[in-house]
Amino acid sequence: METLLELARVGFSAQNQEIVRDISWSYTEGKATALVGPSGGGKSTVLKLSAGLLVPSRGEVVFRGKNVSQMNRRENLEFRKEGAVVFQDSALWANQSIRQILELPLQVHFPAMHPDERIGRVWEVLRAVGYRRDIGIRPAMLSMGEQKLVAFARALMCRPRLLFLDEWTESLDDRSAQRLLALVRERKALGHTIIFVSHDLHIIRDLADQALVISGGELYMTLAESQIKNDDNLGRFLEKENAP
């Protein structure tokens, strides 16, 4: 399989602080990559850099051979259509209804889509993630878990082939978490590319073909699938980092 997305000596600084430094990695199309490491170690920043949500201070993020920060409007829209993000805090628009939030990606990427088709797609995805409440309400009326379901649904609206997931099962009950995990498994089986942040060893072992351990803003080590599943080092590392 080919390289879909590449980090080339990427660094990122904010407020005179170096958060990520000199990370290089090639994400293979159709593979699932786990980003793991201590809180504040830089893994979510690496995910956002990979997704083109942050512009690197140094180095390049390259998608299908094109520097993401140098894409024209058409190229950027195609990248956003193919790659979707689920944020750790859900990041839902507070002043919009659930329906408006979910229809927006379709309005941007499929402007000619009929309103009936849009709402049909909204309900199709909501049923898949297990959301059953009114779509006319705003995010403030939802629990954190329900907000996470809506955020996941938003990411699926345009049928992306590249998913960026940041702790996407947090705040969910076990049944809902298993439902979303099953949806990600389905997409992986279809050859979609998954890049995710998690501290849950069961999820990492279930999904990941490879893992990047990021600590202190640097790529500390990489693990192949056999090491993820059979080596106790990752488990001990996560237990240490998750300890109170």
Per residue in 1-30, pLDDT tens?
Answer: 799 999 999 999 998 899 999 999 999 999
Rounded to whole angstroms, the Cα distance separating 234 from 229 reads 9
Rounded to whole angstroms, the Cα distance separating 132 from 38 reads 35
**210-215 sheet: strands from edge to edge:** 83-86, 162-166, 193-197, 32-36, 210-215, 218-224
pLDDT at 240: 58
Q: What is the pLDDT of residues 91-116, one digit of tens each?
A: 999 999 999 999 999 999 999 999 99
pLDDT at 196: 98
pLDDT in tens, the chain (244 residues): 799 999 999 999 998 899 999 999 999 999 999 999 888 889 999 999 999 999 999 999 999 999 999 999 999 999 999 999 999 999 999 999 999 999 999 999 999 999 999 999 999 999 999 999 999 999 999 999 999 999 999 999 999 999 999 999 988 999 999 999 999 999 999 999 999 999 899 999 999 999 999 999 999 999 999 889 887 767 766 765 655 5
pLDDT at 148: 95
Q: What is the pTM of this model?
A: 0.94
Contact present, 4 and 63 (Cβ < 8 Å): yes
pLDDT at 36: 93
What does residue 218 show for φ and ψ, rounded to 5 degrees?
-120, 155
**Can you tell me which residue has the tokens 């593979």?**
31
pLDDT at 230: 81
pLDDT at 242: 59
DSSP-assigned beta bridge partners for residue 223 = 211
Of 160, 159, 204, whose CA–CA distance to 181 is shortest?
Answer: 204
pLDDT at 89: 92
In the chain the domains, ranked by start, together with CATH numbers, are 3-242 (3.40.50.300)
